[in-house]
Structure 1
């Protein structure tokens, strides 16, 4: 090996490694897929209850044995949702924090709060309906490629808006459906509440898909910009 090759600086990447980025993204995406599957299972179980309850002229009836089996399946689906949700939330927030920390190195002036808020923002009641979204918008702007000379800076944030809109709406609708289901006393009320739960689960599925798209796009944008701006990228 020549002396010139020995003195040539090795290629270096920004803080963090591509492997860690891909690993966190893959884990969070897989967890979101499992959550979506559990929601799909809940929609199926809810549909069984909905179809078993026959409604005619304001009266509802259902075969007792079949309804008990449907309720048991629905409870199983709810338990499965609860089991997979927490690991998914932990993995997604871990990816969210990692991305906030590293996009902050690209454009620190675009952030209004420190990296710790990428975790803390999810934990503050009521504020968690806004803070993570604000951080996501800042991350998206920091990772957006710089425009060519003379062009205006534009950062289309529709993937952020789509993900956050579906997440918030599905959460609120789920709370509403849960309150209706708990207060339901007649079969007609139970049937209506189950239908609302199914709609909330469908929104959860859409939110999970939008979250994966948002995460993949943002991670890709970050690494493209970080690599392009690195003095060792050649």
Structure 2
């Protein structure tokens, strides 16, 4: 007889981490708007080309701090989320008795493989729910989470942006709305993702006391 791994605590931690990361992106959106409202300083943008950078204003320094804090929270969130995903995936395997469609390595690689990262992570979460509760429909919030995640991912100004912080500051001065919309998409993805985690965690937590017999 095999018992499921407990998921309640890791589910709470993972959903809370997502909300914290979403809060960080919300603060960055506010800072984008503050920069746009302040306008380009008399000295021009921070990165003036040719390796020359002027001293930052207090508002620009604040943006650097906000961006750094957001990056740290995003990394911590990713670590906790992957820990949760690996655990619920293993539980779903026990519950269904069938090997998952994606092997364990895809819990990690699915997020970074080009093109594959557009559907594999969502597929893993959906498979976990269906294997855990085959009689229930996939919660709509899973698709909402993934839709907003993709919007923030492929917008060109979100998580895949290669711009430096000073370049993002310049973009906020020049055309702030793509930055704000990308930030808000990631905020929405974080909130929806927290609810998706709770939905998956709930169906497995309901079955934690069950003994799984494998012949």
Bin the TM-score by the shorter chain: 0.7 to 0.9
Q: CA deviation at 1:109?
A: 3.5
Aligned length: 200
Once the two structures are superposed, what CA deviation does each residue of 1:124-152 show, in whole Å capped at 9, x if it has no partner? 23312221111111112112253xxxxxx
Q: In the aligned structure 1, how far is the partner of 2:76 from the partner of 2:166?
A: 30
Q: In the aligned structure 2, how far is the partner of 1:199 from the partner of 1:192?
A: 15
Tell me, yes or no, if structure 1 residue 169 matches structure 2 residue 158. Answer: no
CA contact (8 A) 1:174 1:197 kept: no
Instruction: State TM-score, norm by structure 1.
Output: 0.72
Q: In the aligned structure 1, how far is the partner of 2:16 from the partner of 2:166?
A: 35
Tell me, yes or no, if structure 1 residue 28 matches structure 2 residue 14. Answer: yes
Consecutive unaligned residues of structure 2, counting only runs of 5 or more, are 45-55
Consecutive unaligned residues of structure 1, counting only runs of 5 or more, are 1-11, 54-60, 147-153
Seen in structure 2, the aligned counterparts of structure 1 residues 134 and 118 have a Cα distance that, compared at 3 Å, is same
Matches within 5 A, 1:69-218: 69-109=58-98, 111-144=100-133, 146=135, 155-175=137-157, 178=161, 190-218=172-200
Seen in structure 2, the aligned counterparts of structure 1 residues 13 and 110 have a Cα distance that, compared at 3 Å, is closer
Instruction: State TM-score, norm by structure 2.
Output: 0.78
Greater RCO (CA < 8 Å, at least 6 residues apart): 2
Q: CA deviation at 1:82?
A: 1.2
Tell me, yes or no, if structure 1 residue 44 matches structure 2 residue 26. Answer: no
- Structure with more helix by fraction: 1
Q: Which region of structure 1 is more displaced relative to structure 2, 109-118 or 41-50?
A: 109-118
Q: Paired residue for 2:201?
A: 219
Q: CA deviation at 1:119?
A: 2.6
Seen in structure 2, the aligned counterparts of structure 1 residues 83 and 182 have a Cα distance that, compared at 3 Å, is closer
CA contact (8 A) 2:8 2:205 kept: no
Give the number of the structure whose alpha-carbon radius of gyration is greater.
1
CA contact (8 A) 2:139 2:199 kept: no
